[in-house]
Amino acid sequence: MHNAVFRVQVRYSDVDEMGIVYFARHLVYADEGVTEFLKERGIDFNLLKSLGVDLAVVSAHCDYERPIRYGDEVMVETKVVKVGNTSITFQFEVYANGQLASRGYIVYVTVDKQGFKVQIPSAIREVLLRAL
């Protein structure tokens, strides 16, 4: 399996009044990791649009191991673990200062311009299958 790594410094807007990253931000970091994974393989949202598709989240799960705090250095490791006919499953691990903070998965489906589920375009599917 081929991982992508995305790094970000925790922003003030990411944290609550206790200085801890709001739990839902972990999924935002994970989604940014997916974007980086795809971009590294030549798949960006302009390409998806040109093929008449987009990606929509249909399932997301996150287990939390430790808090992330304001100023922490965050690293997200992302990998594709399943490519279906219409869906793609990515696993992620979020690290703060080198320690595991959360892990989980996000499932996306390809949708057309009207938002209906469609098959993954073959060119994209081939790239994703090579990354398994």
Q: Where are the domains of the chain?
A: 4-130
Domain covering 4-130 in this structure, CATH number: 3.10.129.10
- For residue 42, give both structure tokens: 């030549």
* pLDDT average, residue stretch 55-63: 99
For residue 23, what pLDDT is reported?
Answer: 97
For residue 2, what pLDDT is reported?
Answer: 81
* pLDDT average, residue stretch 10-34: 97
Please check the confidence at residue 29 and state whether its pLDDT lies above 70.
yes
Helix then strand then coil, % of the chain, to nearest 5: 25, 40, 30
Rounded distance between C-alpha atoms, residue 37 and residue 54, angstroms: 16
For residue 1, what pLDDT is reported?
Answer: 55
Per DSSP, 15 falls in state: B
For residue 68, what pLDDT is reported?
Answer: 98
